[in-house]
Chains A and B, each alone.
Chain A
Amino acid sequence: MSDLRIRLVQSLGLILAIGLFLLFYLIYNFNHPRGFSSQILIQNANESFVLVMVGMAQTVPALVGGLDLSVGAVMTMINTLASYLLVGWPLQILGGIVICLATAALAGFVNGCLVVYGRIQPIIVTLATGAVYMGIALFLRPTPGGKVDGDFSWAMTNDLFELAATYGFAGDGDAAWFRPFAWLPLPLILMVLVVLLVWLPFKNSVTGRGVYAVGSAEGAAYMSGVRVDRCKIAAFTMAGLFAGFAGLYLTLQTSSGNADVPQAGAYTLNSIAAVVIGGTSLMGGSGGAVGSLFGALVIRSISFNFRIFDVDPLLQPLIEGIVLLGAVSIGAARIFRVRNKLELFG
């Protein structure tokens, strides 16, 4: 019983994020003329995927108590790189994906090495490397452009039925056994796959547990024999990898590469917001990527509602800002719980 209670308290942020998401998303669907339809779900999942991945990317460095200000830049760099590589035979496309993800992980690895061996603050390191990655993106695509395999990008940004129809399996998507789940949007499936195949195995690995330990108390972790250096490098490498997923998907969505500096900045800032709303402490040590997934969904579902309720476009940034400020101020609730004022100074 008390175990359950502890677990509940520990994942309060996650529960809050899920609740907020359900609230906003249900309001949206109830008021949409075609609410609860597969079409709407596909569209929304598409619009959310990139932010979800960037939010998850930001989570891992946040868990070790650092921030990665280069996630937007890595995403953009991979976007420009992928706009050259996602063409040709299926095997070529697969190779392109592998190259893109490897580059993204390498970018994160470089961040990690600079943080660990350069012993510089993560914020500053990633501020600087972010400029470098943005430079590489601008070098790859001085002007927006590029070409992406049409079938592949169509299949990846639609539902399972279209995937089957495009690549001709399961009777072009019409097979009886395939029907019940043919409506599932690919981006949603990919999100779940990333969580199940990338995040959870990492979190439960020795290194992943170490990431949490280092974030809670670096000195104690070191004394207990946690490989602090390895954990930190792994955290930043994971951030790069997740940002790589975001960049790849952005390429599939837009069918082009664009070294858009303001867009990269906006994604970096929103990724921090997603992490905070998702209940991960920026001090490190508690939270997780699943929370950030829902944090990103909260941010997105708020803007979905703008469309339904015909909010004046000029008011939208203000409402988004107030919601963001309100969400981060929720953390202030802890000041009512402290018994000793010194606890506040952490």
Chain B
Amino acid sequence: MTALGMTAHVQSAFSGRESRPILIACACIVVILIVGTIYTLWAHGTASFLSPRYLMQQLQVGAFLGLVAAGMMLVILLGHIDLSVPWTIAAAAMMATAVGGPLALPVGLGLGVAVGLVNGLGVAYLRVPSMIFTLGVNAVLRGLMVMHTGGFAPQTHSTPLMEFLAVGHILGIPMALFVWILVSILIVVMLRRTPLGRYIYAVGNREAAAYLSGVNTRLVLISAFVLCSTLAALAGVLLAGYSTKAYQGMGDAYLLPSIAAVVIGGTNILGGQGRYTGTVVGTILIVLLTSVLSIMQMPEAGRQIIYGTVIIAMLLAYGRRDRVTS
């Protein structure tokens, strides 16, 4: 590829090509809101779907998925994936409630850092494909937690701080939303303004090139995995605060939606391309879609089918790759 072609590629990557998915996803959110409102007007005679209280509630629920998706995005930007998220969430929640007291939050997050380090070391140094290594780590974490809890929901409860962070309100705005916003700002700054952020895109595009340019690619990989697991752990701690305790399989419902949120937001699953705004929009889209379907009292079967169809339809609209012809 010539230098000119490279420049053109970079330019397009930061203008039209990347904002199109976000625009389509936004349009999709508007459609969901309209459909939901029409339904509530028809069924109950109220536009409860557009009430600020309802929307705040959705954003609060969305914050948990948003945190997981934010971490997942960093890993996907590298062209990797983290399948250990479900049990990182559950393990962090269980450890935090088990320790209790002022140490609950640090212990939960510390567990996330530890899991991330293991994942990162496995991927960066052992060079095992992330998909299977994190799968193994997930199984080990599950085993550890089953051993720890005896296979039942632990009897311990979340601390007041965890509950405040998850369900507390300041000025009518949920704390969980504040946490999400804070994390989002940090990630955007990290991706746009720090060397680590630029390295993440570089490694995702071509690891060998980044390595030859003097980037410590192993450190970049490990950092991204640590961040991903820590954010998952944060989500787990907050979730435990939300439901006042931890339980088996509490993270299972977050793996696939978080990947879907990242991909719907326009991040390339092969890495190197994607904007954080997209991930936020993707998260909101998925939360609203789930919520509309449950308001419509759609049975689980219909929910799954619509969920899958929407993801495919959105990707057909903009996720298409180039053909491999040489």
Contact = CB atoms under 8 A, between A and B. Distances in A.
Contacts of A327: 136
Nearest to B137: A325
Nearest to B260: A127
Interface of chain B: mostly helix, strand, loop or mixed: helix
A344 interface: yes
Nearest to B269: A121
Nearest to A125: B312
A285 to B, nearest CB: 14
A118 B313 CA distance: 10
B143 A319 contact: yes
Contacts of A120: 312, 315-316, 319-321
Nearest to A70: B308
B195 interface: no
A320 B143 contact: yes
A67 B324 CA distance: 18
A119 B323 contact: yes
A223 B324 CA distance: 10
A14 to B, nearest CB: 18
B239 to A, nearest CB: 18
Interface residues of A, number: 59
A138 B299 contact: yes
B186 interface: no
Q: Range of interface residues on chain B?
A: 35 or more
A332 B126 contact: yes
Given A317-B146, A345-B208, A345-B211, A131 B324 contact: no
A122 to B, nearest CB: 10
A128 B311 contact: yes
Interface in B259-312: 259-260, 263, 269-270, 299-309, 311-312
A212 to B, nearest CB: 16
Contacts of A139: 299, 301-302, 305
B128 interface: yes
Contacts of B303: 135
B142 A317 contact: yes
Interface in B157-196: none
A219 interface: yes
B131 A321 contact: no
Contacts of B319: 118-121, 124
B132 A282 contact: yes
Contact of B147 (A134, A136, A137, A318): A318
Among A130, A265, A314, the most chain B Cβ lie within 10 Å of the Cβ of: A314
B146 A329 contact: no
Among A219, A319, A324, the most chain B Cβ lie within 10 Å of the Cβ of: A324
A149 interface: no
A140 to B, nearest CB: 8
Contacts of A121: 269-270, 319, 321
Interface in A110-129: 114, 118-121, 123-125, 127-129
Nearest to B212: A342
Contact of A262 (B252, B309, B322): B252
Contacts of A328: 128, 132-133, 135-136
A125 B303 CA distance: 17
Interface in A79-138: 114, 118-121, 123-125, 127-132, 134-138
Interface in B200-231: 206-208, 211-212, 217
A325 B299 contact: no
B139 interface: yes
Interface in A195-252: 218-219, 222-223, 228
B129 interface: yes
A334 B312 CA distance: 37
A320 B139 CA distance: 7
The 3 A-B pairs at the shortest CB distance, nearest first, are namely A318-B143, A135-B304, A325-B136
16 contacts: A119-B322, A120-B312, A120-B319, A127-B259, A127-B260, A131-B304, A132-B305, A132-B309, A136-B301, A138-B299, A272-B132, A321-B136, A322-B143, A324-B135, A329-B133, A335-B127
Interface of A: 67, 114, 118-121, 123-125, 127-132, 134-139, 142, 218-219, 222-223, 228, 262, 265, 269, 272-273, 276, 282-283, 313-322, 324-329, 331-332, 334-335, 341-342, 344-345
